[in-house]
Amino acid sequence: MADYWIAPSILSADFARLGEEVSNVLDAGADVVHFDVMDNHFVPNLTVGPMVCKSLREYGIDAVIDVHLMIEPVDQLIPPFANAGADIITFHPEASDDVARTLALIKQQGCKAGLVLNPETPLDVALPHIEELDVLLLMSVNPGFGGQSFIPQTLTKIRQARALLDEKQLPTRLQVDGGINLDNIAEIARAGADMFVAGSAIFASDDYQATLSQMRAQLAQ
Ligand code: DX5
Ligand code: ZN
């Protein structure tokens, strides 16, 4: 069985108790913290910056923090997020005027680097950079909000991306983000994903341990 990572998205957490919430989902079995950064410019919503990532580290969160930048421009916030404790930094190609340079900047800062493709962004956009990617993130909702429904057409793109990564024998993580829940996570895994972002499906549940165990059970099918 693939080495699957489940990454709760903080967007659906109770921000008044963020450290506690993140600690609870990690204790409940989550692998990675998905840290959604929005600037109310690239996407029509506003969330948090590097200082909140730093606060999570100071609170004692030592799990992998996967920073999903939905911001434009991108480059100048990469060093602050790296210094604040980000492990993975992903960004949208539409938000960078030089994707190769932004990927290199993330790696220079000591973080793993990834590209994020929106539902309408073709897989070809990632092709020139595919060997450089530690993570390829395929959005299965349009970015900006949690609690949206999974876009089923994404499954085709996931299969195509998995075929591409396997053909090139790349160790790149294939991450899917948006609308993932107990009813679709197994199908998304069968399509070839190995990293699953879930915000509302986890944080809206009243038992994180039970929800994560059920997700694991679905992935073990
Ligand atoms: C949306 C974010 C996602 C979102 C996922 O722009 O990138 O990470 O928080 O939330 P759910 O799982 O509720 O769709
Ligand atoms: Zn995200």
Q: What is the distance of C-alpha 150 from the center of its chain?
A: 15
Choose one of 5, 6, 10, 11 to mutate for the ligand 1 pocket test, by most ligand atoms within 8 angstroms of C-beta: 11
ipTM: 0.98
Tokens 């929106």 sit on residue:
118
Q: Each residue of 53-111: pLDDT tens digit?
A: 999 999 999 999 999 999 999 999 999 999 999 999 999 999 999 999 999 999 999 99
Q: Each residue of 95-111: pLDDT tens digit?
A: 999 999 999 999 999 99
* pTM for the structure as a whole: 0.98
CB 179 near ligand 1, within 6 Å? yes
124 is catalytic: no
Cβ(71)–Cβ(39) under 8 Å?
yes
